[in-house]
């Protein structure tokens, strides 16, 4: 007989309620099997599994338990609306309430009887401990579902006003249905159609590199993101000023995470956090890390609700990086944030990313933000910059600014197109160096593994390499040894930047022809100077490569001005979101021709200026043959803007 198994029974006591319901024919065998399977996967209480798989309605289950234990019961809906006076709550200490997940709801002083809500009405030891601690004659249990009892403790003892949110609203059913759909997409026939959100959900962020393609592929990740997008959008519909906010934060977070070259599991985890970061926080104030840092009222609310999203989704197996980002998003870089447990790089990377993207989205989209107006992206970045090193990670603020304002595109267009490859497993180690290189006119590629590095090196566009030694699957020196065996890699400039100080590494590196062996942390300016010196000695004859991006990052008029002032030549290809495309030809900064559908010359140029969203690509090797346009770029832009203004007024 195993521990926890009563004599004469072959099943653990955890399924006893389901066993009795089946024996009394109150549930079907199919429902019973589904509930037990759900319970094995999710743990917790069998009562929750019975309710979640809809084997029995909550009211019916509580009525049956009430009759079996000869006690009253209370539904989740009524418990959520209950008002309990402070004197009654003080009859049970918070540590006892937390220990047993109980809440006192009524005290009759005349009879000295205390009534408590509990999911364990037959726990004699608990009842005695409460009776002695409260100093009452008798303690009477009132039965509730386990999740409701737990939510009541959070609400009445911990001040979490959103503790019942997903238990009492249709949002819980929406979440369960969407989670169920996602689970079926990912796990196929491994689950019953009746299983809902309380079973363990396997997120894309939990899938390892060796997971089958059907699990680790982009379709599952996309399904999960779309599920969150739909759910959160439904929740935000009642807040016009925040409608679409979480989806926008998720897009910004993904963009910044991709810029950091985060691995797919980590990126998926922080994007998930971005989608759900506001769950349960729909109060008077919109909480962002910037608002919480600036206003005492926001901070007080944040101290009570910062962990609410994680608690609401505690029955869903979120990735550790997701919960870490959610719990620490209001921490400050200087250590003065909420809950005030971490500072600097001790704060999880996901939380530091989310702090920036959430604040930026609020500044640019919410007219009720602290500036009482939706700011332009460059203005919002200026605001973030004021809090570099206090509220936000300074390096991530710089990287974010370059990412969303087009600074990196500007630098790439105006540079001599020297491409530097940074090989390092640590996303944060490369951030500062990448920013400085971009500022100095370099273009940067990043590889986190030796395999990624090899693919980039094979492309032939890399002019210089800065590599850590501790990379996988082959270390930096082993990778360099292989590179030196192929024609394109024999003379490739290579600098080692590492924390490793193993004896002989430096000598082996110099034997393989490295330019320098530098230990971290190294002065960034010194390293950049060495890169420039190396490239000057090795005048590269490589053909210049093009630059591409989106018109949301840099508008077409800005691109034209940049190419004009930079005296650049080539062809600027533009694709609109509706599928239309065209070209603008440049010669030493002058616009010499334009093509847009059947239009040619100036009419085509003016028509292209109407395109507000789409993509562009610059081919610097293109040589214009036809000189159709004589007007200066300045005159073309002024005339184009005038026509646009007239068109808008006419509309």
Mean pLDDT, residues 7-17: 56
- Note the pLDDT of residue 227: 64
Q: How confident is the model at residue 247 (pLDDT cuts 50, 70, 90)?
A: confident
How far apart are the C-alpha atoms of 591 and 178, rounded to whole Å? 52
Task: Match 């759910």 to its residue by tokens.
Answer: 231
Output the pLDDT for position 414. Answer: 65
Q: Are 574 and 582 within 8 A, CB to CB?
A: yes
How far is residue 627 from each of residues 489, 560, 598, 601, measured CA to CA in Å?
42, 17, 18, 9
Report pLDDT digits (tens) over 121-166: 999 999 999 999 999 999 999 999 998 999 899 889 988 776 776 6
3-class state of residue 306 by DSSP: coil
pLDDT average, residue stretch 1-10? 32
Output the pLDDT for position 191: 35
Fold of 73-165: GMP Synthetase; Chain A, domain 3 (3.30.300)
Decide if pLDDT at 219 tops 50.
Answer: no
477: pLDDT strictly greater than 80: yes
What local confidence, expressed as pLDDT, does residue 513 receive?
92
Q: Is 584 helix (H, G, I), strand (E, B) or coil?
A: strand
- The tens digit of pLDDT for each residue in 504-519 reads 899 999 999 999 899 9
Q: How confident is the model at residue 230 (pLDDT cuts 50, 70, 90)?
A: low
Give the confidence band of 538 by pLDDT, cuts at 50, 70, 90: low
Q: Is the pLDDT of residue 334 over 80?
A: yes
Locate the domains of the chain by residue range.
Answer: 15-56, 73-165, 170-402, 406-537, 547-650
Its pTM surpasses 0.75: no
Residue 313 has what pLDDT? 80
pLDDT band at 116 (very low <50, low <70, confident <90, very high): very high
Q: Between 415 and 521, whose confidence is greater?
A: 521
- More confident site: 355 or 187: 355
Spatial contact of 102 and 92, defined as CB atoms under 8 Å apart: yes
Secondary structure of residue 432 in the 3-state scheme: helix
pLDDT per residue as tens digits for the range 601-641:
999 999 999 998 888 988 888 999 889 999 999 999 999 98
Give the integer Cα–Cα distance in Å for 515 and 493: 7
Enumerate long-range contacts of 530-537, CB under 8 Å, 24 or more apart.
Answer: 530/495, 531/420, 531/437, 531/442, 531/464, 531/466, 531/493, 531/495, 532/440, 534/464, 534/493, 534/495, 535/418, 535/463, 535/464, 535/493
For the record, the structure tokens of 93 come out as 């200490």
Largest CA distance in the chain: 101
Find the range with the poorest average confidence among 35-49, 67-81, 210-224, 226-240.
210-224
- Domain 170-402, second-level architecture: Orthogonal Bundle (1.10)
Of 269-273, 371-375, 453-457, least confident by mean pLDDT is: 371-375
Distance CA 314, CA 327 (A): 13
- Is residue 10's pLDDT more than 70? no
Q: Which pLDDT value is given to residue 189?
A: 37
Per-residue pLDDT averaged across 180-198, rounded?
Answer: 38
The mean pLDDT value for 36-60 works out to 84
Q: What is the pLDDT of residue 478?
A: 94
* Mean pLDDT in residue range 63-82: 90
Q: Are strands 72-73 and 103-108 parallel, antiparallel or unpaired?
A: unpaired
- pLDDT attached to residue 174: 47
- 406-537 folds as Rossmann fold (3.40.50)
pLDDT at 39: 80
pLDDT of residue 522: 84
Sorted by sequence, the CB contacts under 8 Å of residue 276 that are 6+ apart come out as 228, 232, 246, 309, 313, 326
Tell me if domain 73-165 and domain 406-537 are identical in fold: no
Nearest to 384 by CA among 372, 398, 371: 398
215 has pLDDT over 50: no
Q: What is the pLDDT of residues 372-423, one digit of tens each?
A: 888 888 889 999 999 999 999 999 998 898 888 776 666 667 665 678 999 9
């Amino acid at each position: 007989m195993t521990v926890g198994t009563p004599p004469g029974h072959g099943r653990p006591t955890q399924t006893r309620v389901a066993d009795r319901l089946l024996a009394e024919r109150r549930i079907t065998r199919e429902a019973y099997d589904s509930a037990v399977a759900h319970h094995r996967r999710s743990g917790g209480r069998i009562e929750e599994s019975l309710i979640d798989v809809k084997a029995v309605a909550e009211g019916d289950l509580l009525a049956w338990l009430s009759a079996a234990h000869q006690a009253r019961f209370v539904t989740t809906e009524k418990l959520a609306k209950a008002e309990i006076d402070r004197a009654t709550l003080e009859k049970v200490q918070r540590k006892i309430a937390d220990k047993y997940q109980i809440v006192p709801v009524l005290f009759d002083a005349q009879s000295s009887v205390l009534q408590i809500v509990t999911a364990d009405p037959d726990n004699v030891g608990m009842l005695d401990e409460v009776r002695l601690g409260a100093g009452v004659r008798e303690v009477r249990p009132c039965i509730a579902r386990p999740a409701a009892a737990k939510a009541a403790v959070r609400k009445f003892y911990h001040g979490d006003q959103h503790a019942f949110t997903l238990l009492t609203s249709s949002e819980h059913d929406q979440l369960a249905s969407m989670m169920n759909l996602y689970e079926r997409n990912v796990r196929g026939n491994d689950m019953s159609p009746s299983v809902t959100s309380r079973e363990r959900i396997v997120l894309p962020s939990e899938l390892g590199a060796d997971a089958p393609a059907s699990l680790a592929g982009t379709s599952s990740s996309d399904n999960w993101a779309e599920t969150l997008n739909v759910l959160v959008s439904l929740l935000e519909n009642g807040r016009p000023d925040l409608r679409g906010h979480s989806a926008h934060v998720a897009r910004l977070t993904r963009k910044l995470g991709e810029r950091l070259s985060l691995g797919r599991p980590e990126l998926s985890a922080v994007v998930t956090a971005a989608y759900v970061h506001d769950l349960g926080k729909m109060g008077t104030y919109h909480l962002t890390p910037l608002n919480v840092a600036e206003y005492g009222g926001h901070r007080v609310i944040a101290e009570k609700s910062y962990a609410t999203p994680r608690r609401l989704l505690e029955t869903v197996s979120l990735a550790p990086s997701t919960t870490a980002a959610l719990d620490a998003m209001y921490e400050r870089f200087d250590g003065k944030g909420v809950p005030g447990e971490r500072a600097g790089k001790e704060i999880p990377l996901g939380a530091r990313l989310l702090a920036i993207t959430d604040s930026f989205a609020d500044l640019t989209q919410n007219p009720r933000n602290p500036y009482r107006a939706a700011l332009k992206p460059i203005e919002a970045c200026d605001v973030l910059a004021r809090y570099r090193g206090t509220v936000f990670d300074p390096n991530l603020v710089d990287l974010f600014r370059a990412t969303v304002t087009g600074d990196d595109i500007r630098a790439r267009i105006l540079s001599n197109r020297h491409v530097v490859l940074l090989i390092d497993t640590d996303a944060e180690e490369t951030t500062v160096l990448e920013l400085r290189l971009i500022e100095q006119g370099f273009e940067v590629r990043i590889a986190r593994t030796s395999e990624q590095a090899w693919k980039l090196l094979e492309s032939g566009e890399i002019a210089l390499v800065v590599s850590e030694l501790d990379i996988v699957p082959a270390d930096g020196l082993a990778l360099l040894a292989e590179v030196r065996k192929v024609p394109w890699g024999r003379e490739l400039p290579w600098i080692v930047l590492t924390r490793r100080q193993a004896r002989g590494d430096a000598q082996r590196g110099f034997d393989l022809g490295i330019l320098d062996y530098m230990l971290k942390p190294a002065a960034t300016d010194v390293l950049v100077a060495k890169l420039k010196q190396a490239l000057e000695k090795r005048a590269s004859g490589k053909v210049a490569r093009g630059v591409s991006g989106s018109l949301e990052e840099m508008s077409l008029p800005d691109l034209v001005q940049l190419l004009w002032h930079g005296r650049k030549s080539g062809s600027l290809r533009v694709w609109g979101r509706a599928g239309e495309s065209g070209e603008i030809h440049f010669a030493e900064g002058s616009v010499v021709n334009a093509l847009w559908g059947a239009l040619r010359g100036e009419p085509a140029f003016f028509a292209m200026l109407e395109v507000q969203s789409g993509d562009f690509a610059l081919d610097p090797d293109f040589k214009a043959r036809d000189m159709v346009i004589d007007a200066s770029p300045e005159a073309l832009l002024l005339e184009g803007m005038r026509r646009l203004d007239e068109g808008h007024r006419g509309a």
